[in-house]
Chains A and B, each alone.
Chain A
Amino acid sequence: NAGVTQTPKFRVLKTGQSMTLLCAQDMNHEYMYWYRQDPGMGLRLIHYSVGEGTTAKGEVPDGYNVSRLKKQNFLLGLESAAPSQTSVYFCASSYPGRVNTEAFFGQGTRLTVV
């Protein structure tokens, strides 16, 4: 039971470099999310998707882009990394709705931008 898988788990980037974080889920979930977690800030939603081919901005979308070309995958891109994007990134997925659903999380990607 893989659940939600994130790659890579760790990455160090230089300022200005680009990278893509991959999230894959095998639960046939419609909804997928990208969060960042910073000390004292909790989880902040970057972007999310309610289905294949759709994306939407969350609370902190600037500096990130996303794509959902396949239902099981949700990619998060950093076009030009900045030190302020040093964080732990979590992907999650869920079924639609607000009752009796839950979000399943990946193990996280620890990104350092120097």
Chain B
Amino acid sequence: GDSVTQMEGPVTLSEEAFLTINCTYTATGYPSLFWYVQYPGEGLQLLLKATKADDKGSNKGFEATYRKETTSFHLEKGSVQVSDSAVYFCALPNTGNQFYFGTGTSLTVIP
């Protein structure tokens, strides 16, 4: 069935470093793809999304491109801040009417 495989963490970066979190997907058809973020003690919130192949989602300096040829949706940010410390989840809605989430990647940014 449809699923996402996400880069294992945790990831620790210095402030202003470049971030990549890998996500690959398996899907029937072309569902939308999502990145969610969970700040400490909070629920998940949508960070960005892409609705079709070659779409680029972006928000708060984060970007991800829906790549059909490599079945990937990697999350990137050019210069991370301490406030970006959180857990990041790749997700897609599968054919079973369910939202499927990756295992999450914990990011810690140190000053």
Contacts and interface: CB of A to CB of B under 8 A. Distances in A.
Given A42-B101, A45-B98, A50-B97, A102 B49 contact: yes
Interface string A26-56: 0000010101000011110100101000001
A1 interface: no
B102 A42 contact: yes
B103 A40 contact: yes
Contacts of A108: 42-43
A42 B44 CA distance: 12
Contacts of B101: 35, 42-43
B107 interface: no
A33 B51 CA distance: 21
Contacts of B100: 45
21 contacts: A31-B97, A42-B103, A42-B104, A43-B44, A43-B104, A45-B98, A48-B97, A90-B43, A92-B44, A92-B99, A96-B97, A99-B30, A99-B52, A102-B32, A102-B46, A103-B44, A103-B91, A103-B99, A105-B43, A105-B45, A107-B43
Give the top 8 A-B pairs by smallest Cβ distance, nearest first: A42-B103, A98-B31, A105-B43, A43-B101, A98-B93, A105-B44, A103-B99, A107-B43
Interface of A: 4, 31, 33, 35, 40-43, 45, 48, 50, 56, 58, 90, 92, 94, 96-108
Interface of B: 29-32, 34, 36, 42-46, 49, 51-52, 89, 91-95, 97-104
